[in-house]
Amino acid sequence: MVVNGEHPLTVAKDRPATVAEDRPVTLVEEHAHAWSPEAARARFREGLTGPTAGVAAGHTQVNLISVPADWAYDMLLFCQRNPKPCPVLDVTDAGSWTTVLAEGADLRTDLPRYRVWRDGELVEEPTDVRAHWRGDLVSFLVGCSFTFEWALIAAGVPIRHVEQGRNVPMYVTNRQCRPAGRLRGPMVVSMRPVPPAHVAAALRESSLLPAVHGSPVHCGDPSVLGIADLGRPDFGDPVDAGPDDIPMFWACGVTPQAAVMASRPPFAITHAPGQMFLTDARDEQYRVA
């Protein structure tokens, strides 16, 4: 489907004039990496927005998607059938805005920015969704690749988007997820350019964290995934790669948003890509070795 001459997943980038420009928190706040997750959530609750890569280092970040209860089984099945892009870390009761992953947190207010969807169309990108919350919403908290970046950094792998204060670039691929009930759609991937000498370390370290996407789904030629231009991500920001860097692609938790657009449920709330929910869980809890 094409909307106004554009792929529908790219239309969402054009925000209404009333929406404030996001501020990269890693640039605005010099010590964001040292925040506690509670402090990070408090700042987001107060209105700070922007990509969360590197924020509250050592604490697990997650994607959010909330759907009506009559779509919850389809979403759970979709995630179960597509564990690489959709590794579920928690599922709430219907109507609940709390999670065992962050005591006292509010899923309606504690993310930097949200997306509100109606019939598969993006209608708003607020910083607080209390006005949109419904008593039948079931929330899925899905693992995020920001979580394994600490392991990459510890292994000496440069993280270009963090170095450059940008959001990670994300792309819609030509790989279709396994359908589940009424849900279908393409896999979304995040990309990190990695110097050849560090590719093995990036592969090894990320593979030890399968609950947050694990190993890459592809390395090298982006056209294999149907990506025509790395300089034009569908979500996030383009990053400047080194002259010999190899693009490495990981399955991405924005995939449920692609499913929302393809399957058109009547209502959904998600995080804005790259602007994640900070949990109290420690990254190493999800390391398998």
pLDDT digits (tens, 9 = 90+) for 244-253: 999 999 999 9
Mean pLDDT highest for which of 7-21, 87-101, 145-159? 87-101
Three-state SS annotation for the chain? CCECCECHHHHCCCCCCCCCCCCCHHHHCCCHHHCCHHHHHHHHHCCCCCCCCCCCCCEEEEEEEEEEHHHHHHHHHHHHHCCCCCCEEEECCCCCCCECCECCCCCCCCCCCEEEEECCEEEECCCCCHHHCCCCEEEEEEECHHHHHHHHHHCCCCCHHHHCCCCCCEEEEEEECCCECCECCEEEEEEEEECHHHHHHHHHHHHCCHHHCCCCCEECCHHHHCCCCCCCCCECCCCCCCCCCEEEEEECCCHHHHHHHHHCCCEEEEECCCCCEEEEEEHHHHCCC
Cβ–Cβ < 8 Å for 156, 148: no
Is 69 among the domain residues? no
Direct distance between the N- and C-terminal alpha carbons of the chain, in angstroms, rounded to an integer: 43
Is 15 among the domain residues? no
Q: Any idea what the CATH number is for the domain that residue 236 is in?
A: 3.30.2040.10
Give me the half-sphere count of Cα atoms (radius 13 Å) on the Cβ side of residue 207: 10
State the pLDDT at residue 208: 94
Residue holding tokens 């997650």?
62
Q: How many residues does the chain have?
A: 289
Rounded Cα gap, residues 40 and 147, in angstroms:
15
Is 114 among the domain residues? no
Residue holding tokens 């399968």?
210
Q: Identify any residues that bridge with 183 across adjacent strands, giving them in sequence order.
A: 180
Is 240 among the domain residues? yes
Is 5 among the domain residues? no
Q: Is the pLDDT of residue 19 over 50?
A: no
Q: Copy the structure tokens of residue 269.
A: 């709330």
Among 25-34, 197-206, 269-278, where is mean pLDDT lowest? 25-34
Residue 164 belongs to domain spanning: 148-251
Rounded Cα gap, residues 249 and 214, in angstroms:
11
Is 187 among the domain residues? yes
Average pLDDT, the chain: 90
* Domains: count for the chain: 1
Q: Which amino acid is it at 26?
A: T
* Per-residue pLDDT tens digits for 33-81: 889 999 999 999 999 999 998 899 889 999 999 999 999 999 999 999 9
Residue holding tokens 């309606």?
108
Q: Copy the structure tokens of residue 48.
A: 């700070």
Closest CA to 85 of 177, 149, 159: 177
Is 104 among the domain residues? no
Q: Is the pLDDT of residue 215 over 60?
A: yes
State the pLDDT at residue 25: 62
* Per-residue pLDDT tens digits for 235-244: 999 999 999 9
pTM above 0.85, yes or no: yes
Is 205 among the domain residues? yes
Largest Cα span, the chain: 51
